C-alpha cells in the first residue's frame, strides 16, 4: 500500500485554530537547537493530538518525519491536513506508513527502511474510561505494543533514541502530592496498569540493554485538537453548541475529580528536549496546579456568558468503576535538567478551546445551509 494511496483517501478537512500563546522559554542549549545534520524521526500515533503537534515541531526543526498509521476504514486525519496540503512537505519531509502496534514484522520493516534517529512512541488506547470496557485490547496495544517495539529496537543495527509517552495514571492513588519521578506506581485502572507495565519496561531496556529510552510521564494535556470524548473537549464543544442553540444539555460523570491540565504543544516540546539530552531519563510533565471538572465547566461556560449549572446533568454512564481523583505533577526535574516550563493557565486553555469550537460549529452550520 503506497503512501500516495494513503493520502488520496484522506478527505480535506480543516482542523482547529491554534491557541494564540507564546511557547514557554527554555534553556537555549536545548530548546533553540536546530539539527546540525538532518535527523529522521518515526512517530507512532502521528494522527493524534500529540502526534500532530510533534510532527509540526520536528518539521520546523528540519527533521524528516515518518509516521505509523493504523489501517482502518476511517481515513480522516484532519489534524495533519494543513501538512498534507503543503506540497513541499507531504512525501518530501513527511511520510506515512501503515502498521498496527501488534504488527511486529511491519514495524520492523519500517524501522529498517527509515533508520530513524529518534522514535517517539505515542500510540496506544488512550481513553481511561474505555479501558474498563476493553481491558484486554488496552493492554495489548499500550503494554505489549510497547514491549514489542522495544524488542525490535533492541535488535536493530542502528538503534534510535526512544521516547515513550507514559501517564500520570501510573500513580493511581499515590501516597504523595505532588508526584515526581520517585513516586511509587499504584495504578487503579486497566489503562494505568498497562502504562505502568510499559513505563517499567522502558526502564528495564534502558538499564539492562543500554537503550537510550525515556518516559515522559505526562499529566493531562489538552488543546483545540483534543479528541471529543475527553472531558475538556466534551465540555468546550457543549458550551459552544449550547450558546449557538445547537444543544440543550450536557451529560457528564464525576464532577468532583481534579486534574492537572496543561497545554499539549508544551508537552511535545518537552518530549523532544528529552531526546536531545546527554542521558536518557524519565521526566514528570505537569503544571503543578489542579482544577476540578466544575472549575473547568465554569471557565468554559463563562466564555459564552452562560451558567453551566443550568445545562449539566450527571449520568451514571460516564462514571468509572474506579477513578483517580486528584493527581498533581511536580515537573521540577524537567525544569532543572531541560529548562522546560509549561505555559498559560487552565482558564486560558478552556477559553481558547471554546473559541475554536465556536468557529468550527459556525463553519459547519454555514456549510449545511
Considering only 47, 52, 168, 330, the residue that binds ligand F7E (CB under 6 A) is 168
Please give the Cα distance from 188 to 226 (Å, whole number): 24
From candidates 45, 116, 129, 160, binder to ligand F7E by CB under 6 A: 129
Examine residue 146 and tell whether it contacts ligand F7E (CB under 6 A).
Answer: no
- 167 near ligand F7E (CB under 6 A): yes
Number of residues that bind ligand F7E (CB under 6 A): 22
- Residue 179 binding ligand F7E, by CB under 6 A: no
219, 259 contact by CB (below 8 A): yes
Which 228-267 positions form the footprint of ligand F7E (CB under 6 A)?
Answer: 229-232, 234, 252-254, 257, 259
- How far is Cα 332 from Cα 253, in angstroms, rounded to an integer? 32
Tell me if residue 219 is catalytic: yes
Nearest Cα to Cα of residue 239 among 361, 83, 106, 74: 361
The single residue of 219, 263, 267, 283 carrying the catalytic annotation is 219
Site string for ligand F7E, 278-297 (x = CB under 6 A): ---------------x----
C-beta neighbour count of 250 within 10 angstroms: 20
Contacting ligand F7E (CB under 6 A), which of 54, 99, 101, 128?
128
Q: Radius of gyration (Cα) for the chain, nearest Å? A: 20
Q: Nine-digit cell at 77?
A: 486525519
Binding of residue 320 to ligand F7E (CB under 6 A):
yes
CB of 123 to ligand F7E, least distance (A): 11
Q: Answer yes or no whether residue 97 interacts with ligand F7E by CB under 6 A.
A: no
Q: Which of 115, 95, 90 is nearest to 40 (CA)?
A: 115
Pick from 298, 290, 289, 285: nearest CA to 350: 298
Q: Are 203 and 215 in contact (CB under 8 A)?
A: yes
Calpha distance 210→193 (Å, rounded) = 25
169 binds ligand F7E (CB under 6 A): yes
Binding site for ligand F7E (CB under 6 A): 126, 128-129, 167-169, 219-220, 229-232, 234, 252-254, 257, 259, 293, 318, 320, 323
Q: Which residues belong to the active site?
A: 219
Amino acid at each position: 500500500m503506497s503512501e500516495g494511496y494513503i493520502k488520496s483517501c484522506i478527505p480535506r478537512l480543516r482542523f482547529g485554530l491554534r491557541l494564540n500563546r507564546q511557547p514557554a522559554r527554555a534553556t537555549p542549549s536545548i530548546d533553540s537547537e536546530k539539527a546540525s545534520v538532518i535527523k529522521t524521526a518515526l512517530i507512532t500515533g502521528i494522527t493524534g493530538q500529540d502526534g500532530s503537534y510533534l510532527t509540526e515541531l520536528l518539521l520546523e526543526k528540519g527533521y524528516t518525519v515518518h509516521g505509523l498509521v493504523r489501517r482502518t476504514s476511517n481515513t480522516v486525519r484532519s489534524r495533519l491536513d494543513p501538512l498534507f496540503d503543503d506540497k513541499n512537505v507531504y512525501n518530501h519531509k513527511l511520510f506515512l506508513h501503515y502498521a498496527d502496534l501488534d504488527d511486529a514484522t511491519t514495524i520492523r520493516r519500517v524501522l529498517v527502511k527509515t533508520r530513524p534517529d529518534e522514535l517517539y512512541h505515542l500510540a496506544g488506547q488512550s481513553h481511561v474510561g474505555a479501558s474498563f470496557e476493553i481491558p484486554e485490547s488496552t493492554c495489548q496495544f499500550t503494554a505489549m505494543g510497547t514491549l514489542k517495539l522495544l524488542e525490535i529496537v533492541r535488535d536493530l543495527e542502528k538503534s534510535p533514541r526512544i521516547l515513550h509517552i507514559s501517564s500520570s495514571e501510573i500513580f493511581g492513588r499515590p501516597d504523595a502530592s505532588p508526584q515526581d519521578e520517585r513516586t511509587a506506581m499504584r495504578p487503579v485502572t486497566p489503562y494505568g496498569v498497562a502504562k505502568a507495565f510499559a513505563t517499567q519496561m522502558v526502564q528495564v531496556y534502558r538499564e539492562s540493554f543500554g537503550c537510550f529510552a525515556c518516559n515522559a510521564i505526562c499529566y493531562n494535556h489538552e488543546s483545540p485538537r483534543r479528541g471529543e470524548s475527553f472531558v475538556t473537549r466534551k465540555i468546550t464543544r457543549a458550551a459552544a453548541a449550547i450558546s449557538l442553540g445547537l444543544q440543550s444539555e450536557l451529560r457528564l460523570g464525576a464532577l468532583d475529580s481534579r486534574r492537572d491540565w496543561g497545554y499539549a504543544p508544551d508537552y511535545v516540546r518537552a518530549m523532544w528536549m528529552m531526546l536531545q539530552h546527554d542521558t536518557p531519563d524519565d521526566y514528570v510533565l505537569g503544571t503543578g496546579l489542579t482544577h476540578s471538572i466544575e472549575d473547568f465547566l465554569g471557565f468554559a461556560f463563562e466564555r459564552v456568558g452562560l451558567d453551566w449549572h443550568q445545562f449539566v446533568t450527571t449520568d451514571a454512564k460516564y462514571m468509572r468503576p474506579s477513578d483517580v481523583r486528584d493527581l498533581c505533577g511536580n515537573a521540577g526535574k524537567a525544569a532543572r535538567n531541560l529548562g522546560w516550563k509549561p505555559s498559560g493557565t487552565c482558564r486560558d486553555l478552556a477559553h481558547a478551546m471554546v473559541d475554536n469550537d465556536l468557529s468550527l460549529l459556525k463553519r459547519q452550520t454555514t456549510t449545511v445551509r
